[in-house]
Chains A and B, each alone.
Chain A
Amino acid sequence: MRRFLDSAKPSQYGPRGFQVRVLPRSQAAGVDNMSDARENGDRSKQQSQEAALSARLQRLNEGLGQLRDQAGPPSDSSGADRAATASGYARGFRLSSELVAGVVVGAGLGWLIDRGLGSSPWGLIVFLLLGFAAGVLNVMRTAGVVAGTAFDDRARGNRDN
C-alpha cells in the first residue's frame, strides 16, 4: 500500500515541503515503537487521498450524467437544447429507422409467407399493414409515448432509482 501511495507522486497534492513528512524506509523500519504514529499518519493521508478520489469520481459521474442526458436516447422533450443540432438529428434518425424497420420486416415476412404458402398477394398485404403497425409501435416506444412495456420508459425509471 505504501509503495502504491509513494509511486503516486504526492507532490501533486501539496507544496514541496509536504514530501519531507514521508519517512525514509530504513528509518521507519528501524524504529518499531513509532510504527503506531506512522500508521496513523499513513491512514490519515490515505483517508484524505480517498476523499479526494471519491470527490473526483463524483465529479466525473456528474459530468458523465450530463453527457448521458445529452447523448442518450431522448426520454423526454423537456430540454430545449436537446432538439438542437446533432442530438435532434440523431433522434429523428432513430425514430425514422424504427418505423422503416417495422415496415420492412413486416413486408419481408409477408413475402416469405406468400412464397411458402402460395397465398400471394394476401400475406404481403396483411403483413405489410401489421408491419406498419409494428413500426408505429416502435416509434411510440422510442419516443416514450406509450407507457408500460415501453423500453425507454423502463430504462428511465431505473435510472431515476
Chain B
Amino acid sequence: MHVDPIHQFQIKSLIPLAEMGAHHLNFTNSALVMFIIVGAVSTLLLSATRPRAVVPGRFQSVAEISYEFVANTVRSSGGTEGMKFFPFVFTLFMFVLFANLIGLIPYSFTVTSQLIVTATLALLVFFIVVVYGFWRNGLHFLNLFVPKGVPKAILPAIVIIEVLSFLSRPVSHSVRLFANMLAGHITLQVFAGFIIMLASAGILGWFGAVLPFIMVVMLTALELLVAFLQAYVFAILTCIYLNDAIHPGH
C-alpha cells in the first residue's frame, strides 16, 4: 500500500473562472479554505463580542484573550505608536493561526504550507515597512542601514551587508512559516502511512502499527503547538519589522 505524503498539498481547481491567454484563473481548494478561514475568524470574533458583557463568557474570553495577547505583543515591540498597526497585526495573526489550525483537520488543506501564500503575507509586511518608513521618516529611514560607531573605512561594506540583511527579511519571514507547516504535515503523513503499511502486513503488523500510531498522536499534539507558535512568531516578527519603520536607526 502506497501513501504519497506530498499529495495533500496539491492545488485542485474547483471552479474555472476565466482564461487569459495561457493563464487560467481558477477558484481552487486553497482559495476555498482561505474563504473558510476568514469566515471562521469573522464569525467567531463577531459573535463572541456581541454580548459585550462586563464579565465575559467563554467565547468572549477567547476573543478578549486573543486581543490582549496581540495587543501586548504589539505594544512590547512597537510601543504605543505601534498600536496603529494593531488591526493589521491582529488580522495577520488570526489568519495564520486559523490557517494552521484548520490545516490540522484531516482532509482539509493547509494554506500556509504554500510558499506563495506566506511569501505574499511577508512581502505585504515588507512593503508596508518600506512605504511607511519613508513616508514617516523621509530619508532618515535610511539610517536603518548605517549602524552607529562603525569606522568609516569599513562602512560601505557594512551598509551593503545591512541592506542585504534587510532584503533577506521577507525570505526568512515567509520560509519559516511555510517550511514549518510543510515539514510538520509531511512528517504526520509519513507516520500515518507507516500505520497503513504495517497494518496491511498481517496480524503481527497490527501490533507493530501501534508504535507509529502513538507517534502520530504525539506529533499531532506537537503540530498543534507549532501551529500556535508559528502564528505567534509571524506576528512578533511583523511587529519587530514595523518597529523599524516607526523608529529607524537607534
Contact = CB atoms under 8 A, between A and B. Distances in A.
A134 B164 contact: yes
Interface in B157-201: 157, 160-162, 164-165, 167-169, 171-172, 175-176, 179-180
Given A72-B236, A98-B172, A105-B171, A93 B157 contact: no
A127 B157 CA distance: 11
B240 A149 contact: no
Interface string A99-135: 0111011100100000000000000000100110111
Interface stretch (B42-50, B100-108, B224-232): B224-232
Interface string A68-108: 10011100000000000110001001100110111011100
- Grouping DSSP codes into helix (H, G, I), strand (E, B) and loop, the A interface class, with mixed when no group exceeds half, is helix
A43 interface: no
Interface size range of chain A in the complex: 35 or more
A27 interface: no
Interface string B25-49: 0000000000000000000000000
Contacts, number: 121
Given A72-B236, A158-B77, A109 B250 contact: no
B123 interface: no
A28 interface: no
Given A60-B68, A90-B233, A94-B233, A134 B54 contact: no
Given A73-B233, A97-B179, A134-B161, A149 B168 contact: no
Interface of A: 4-5, 7-9, 12, 49, 53, 60-61, 64, 68, 71-73, 85-86, 90, 93-94, 97-98, 100-102, 104-106, 109, 127, 130-131, 133-135, 137-138, 141, 148-149, 151-152, 154-155, 158-159
20 contacts: A7-B53, A49-B54, A61-B68, A64-B72, A68-B72, A71-B232, A72-B236, A73-B237, A86-B226, A105-B167, A134-B162, A135-B165, A135-B168, A138-B168, A148-B147, A148-B148, A151-B240, A151-B243, A154-B77, A155-B240
